Amino acid sequence: MGIASFYMHVFITDEALAELPENEQALYGEYATWTSIVFAIAVFGGALGTVGLLMKRKWAKPLFIISLIAIVIQMSHSLFFTESMVVYGAMEALTMPILVVLIAIYEISLANKAIRNGWIA
C-alpha cells in the first residue's frame, strides 16, 4: 500500500491533479522535493525490511528503523508544516500517520523477537 501511495503522490499527472479540489491541489504544492525523498526512504525501507524478514535476515531490523525515522520526518512535515489538517480535517489527517507509525513499530518489535528467538540470522 505504501509503494502504491508513493507512486500516486509523486507521479500524479497534471490531469489527475487538476481533477482534485482546489485546496488539495494547493496542498500538493506545499510538499518540497526532499519530502518525496524521505517518503521513498520510508516506503522502500519498510518494503525491503519486509523482504529481509521473509528471507530470515537480521538486516531487516535496521531497515525498519530507518523506515520509522523517515516516516516520522515525513508525517511531521505533513501534519505540522502543511495545511493537511485544514484540508482533510484533524481525524482524517491523523489516522493514517498514526496507523503507519504503529505498523512500523510493530515491524521493529517483530524483527527484535525474530532475532531474540533465533528465527532469523
Mean pLDDT of 110-118: 97
The pLDDT of residue 77: 95
User: Would you list the domain boundaries of the chain?
Assistant: 2-116
For 67-91, write each residue's pLDDT tens digit. Answer: 999 999 999 999 999 999 999 999 9
The pLDDT of residue 85: 93
| pLDDT over threshold 90, residue 51 | yes
3-class SS shares of the chain: helix, strand, coil, % to 5: 80, 0, 20
Q: Going by C-beta distance under 8 Å and a sequence separation of 6 or more, which residues neighbour residue 41?
A: 66, 67, 70
The pLDDT of residue 20: 93
The pLDDT of residue 29: 87
- Looking at per-residue confidence, does 1 or 55 come out higher? 55
Mean pLDDT of 16-34: 92
